[in-house]
């Protein structure tokens, strides 16, 4: 029987769970797909629409989930599970909990399937209720420098205003990074 997971929101840089999850965050995402540790701490403390959660199982951190509340939609920014705990449906259960909490459009970015790992990741999101909505998307750089990275936008539904939502995501998640 699977144990219940809990999403615990981290709201301060001094939260001991953030210290325990930062190595996972830095390892799970390449530098151009994440903030540095200091920037992450500042976003947690200064951006109320940014939610950074520890995924807990039996009160122990097993992963992390970050998302943004962007008025008419939600942007799922980061999801990672500790490597030794993968293949236990923790990520799928976290997405189920998010679907229960965040009713409406949920968007995320994913690497196009250029190798086995990225193809498995796209297929995993598809099995968990998401589909490719935009395959011509370019993720802006987190540090405001460079040209960005080609990624795909996936979502649980196709909003009629997808281009507007993508522009808001770029403006509110990425461009504001330059000021944290």
Domain residues of the chain, as ranges?
5-179
| Strand ranges, E, within the chain | 5-10, 50-57, 60-69, 73-81, 105-110, 131-139, 149-155
End-to-end alpha-carbon separation of the chain, Å?
Answer: 42
Tens digits of residue pLDDT in 14-53: 999 999 999 999 999 988 889 999 999 999 999 999 999 9
Options 3.40.50.10490, 1.10.1520.10, 3.40.630.30, 3.30.2320.50; which CATH number does 5-179 get?
3.40.630.30
| pLDDT tens digits for range 83-94 | 999 999 999 999
pLDDT of the residue at 178: 52
So what's the pLDDT on residue 1?
60
Residue-wise pLDDT for 105-117, tens only, equals 999 999 999 999 9
* Separation in Å, CA 24 to CA 1, 65, 120, 166, 171: 26, 11, 20, 27, 26
Q: Which pLDDT belongs to residue 128?
A: 97
pLDDT tens digits for range 125-173? 999 999 999 999 999 988 777 788 999 999 999 999 999 999 999 999 9
Q: What proportion of the chain, given as a percentage, has pLDDT over 90?
A: 87
Give the pLDDT of residue 177: 55
Average pLDDT, the chain: 93
CB 53 within 8 A of CB 34: no
Tokens of 112: 């196009």
- What are the φ/ψ torsions at residue 82 (nearest 5 degrees)? -55, 135
- The pLDDT of residue 44 is 96
Name which residue leads in pLDDT, 65 or 87. Answer: 65
Q: How far apart are CA 34 and CA 82, in angstroms?
A: 17
Looking at residue 106, what DSSP letter applies? E
């Amino acid at each position: 029987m699977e144990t219940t997971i809990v999403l615990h929101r981290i709201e301060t840089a001094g939260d001991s769970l953030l210290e325990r999850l930062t190595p996972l965050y830095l390892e799970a995402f390449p530098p151009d797909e994440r903030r540095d540790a200091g920037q992450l701490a500042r976003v947690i403390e200064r951006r109320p629409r940014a939610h950074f959660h520890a995924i807990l199982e039996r009160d122990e951190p097993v992963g992390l989930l970050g998302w943004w509340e962007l008025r008419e939609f939600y942007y799922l920014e980061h999801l990672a599970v500790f490597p030794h705990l993968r293949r236990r449906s923790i990520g799928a259960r976290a997405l189920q909990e998010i679907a229960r909490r965040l009713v409406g459009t949920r968007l995320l970015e994913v690497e196009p399937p250029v190798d086995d790992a990225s193809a498995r990741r796209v297929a995993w999101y598809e099995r968990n209720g998401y589909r490719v909505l935009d395959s011509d998307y370019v993720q802006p750089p987190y540090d405001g420098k460079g040209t960005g990275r080609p990624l795909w936008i996936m979502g649980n539904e196709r909003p009629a205003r997808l281009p507007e939502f993508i522009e808001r995501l770029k403006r509110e998640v990425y461009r504001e990074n330059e000021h944290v």
